[in-house]
Structure 1
Amino acid sequence: MRLERLLAGRGDGAAGIIRRPEQASDLLAAGAEPVVCDLESASVDEVARHLEGADAAVFAAGAGPGSGTARKETVDRDAAVLLADAAEQAGVRRFLIVSSMGANAGLEGTPDGMDPVFASYLRAKGAADDAVRARTALDWTVLRPGRLTDDHGTGRVRLAAETGRADVTRDDVAAVLVALLDEPRTAGLTLELVGGETPIPEAVASVAG
């Protein structure tokens, strides 16, 4: 809800897709419109109707901890592709996808020391990224954060094509997403994001320049 809260707080009309009606209160508290739609079962036409009139779409969903390989594919991969399909159909050009550092559709097997489900997650995220980046009808940006934390945001990050591995707060990820939405010159970029020393506006301006 962090992204919706930031957008609503500056006067933008924000909406968030949720699976269950009981999740609506959190979005309403953030100042956003709840849209009940299960991206694991919805059609492109259904999602496109929800996107009509939007200026941008952001895919930030995830199967979450405790989910197995199957849901990494149906949520982290397929739902992202579905939202991209729907954005194209609805004529929403600006599209941001929150991916993961290390996402790689071509990852073979399970690297030593890595959980097999996490390897599936990286493959699913990589496949979603590739599907989005192949589209010419979308002004896409792929954002790959490091390990997410619930600490308070600092407003300072490192944002680049390659950053090296480190943590980043969810607050700062949301703030970077807002800044990316405001900067059309970041379309066509795949960016890694970790905590750092550069104020977010400067970090985004740097990659856009």
Structure 2
Amino acid sequence: MTTWLHEQRLDAAHRIVRASGASSVLDLGCGDGDLLVRLATEPQIERIVGVDLCGASLNRLRARLDALTEEATARVDLVLGSMTEGNSRLTGFDCAILIETIEHIAPDRLSTLERAIFARMRPATVVVTTPNAEFNPLLGVPPHRFRHADHRFEWDRAKFRRWARGVAARGGYAVTCNDIAGRHPAYGGASQMAVFKIAGSSADRLSA
């Protein structure tokens, strides 16, 4: 069972993947596969690789995949490992998605993640969502606390946009940022999303 706000995040990311025309997708930090299971039923997607550090999460995801058709599950591979490693198995994909994952990484490790994804894996489209700290009061989160005990940081919208623009500039991507999962006039959405596209690509020109 997912919350309404989480459903909104999944819907937003799903729409971007579909609109990108991607036929191969990396779900980095896939967890129990809330988005991956949806993508496995998309006719346009021929290959999906889910990556996560948690073996228990991947086992739960395998059980969920067993409920899908054989055609859908044949498209999916699951990898127990770190998304910061950038190994050769994770290159050559049209799209990579990171749904509420970067906030679980220590801030001083974000540069390692950036190099792995935007320099080594280098998918044509990258979708990143992360909590919007400005929205926390509406969720009853006390000041100076995070939404989850495992979060290493939570950014406001200005800081997230600065980070996204820096990543895009260093990696040769164009980026757009949006509020998602609700839209409060002062606080924005519960989450925020950055969509990176390799600068000058056909997908980038179509989104301009």
Larger RCO (CA under 8 A, 6+ residues apart) = 2
What is the TM-score normalised by the length of structure 1? Answer: 0.49
What TM-score results when the alignment is normalised by the length of structure 2?
0.49
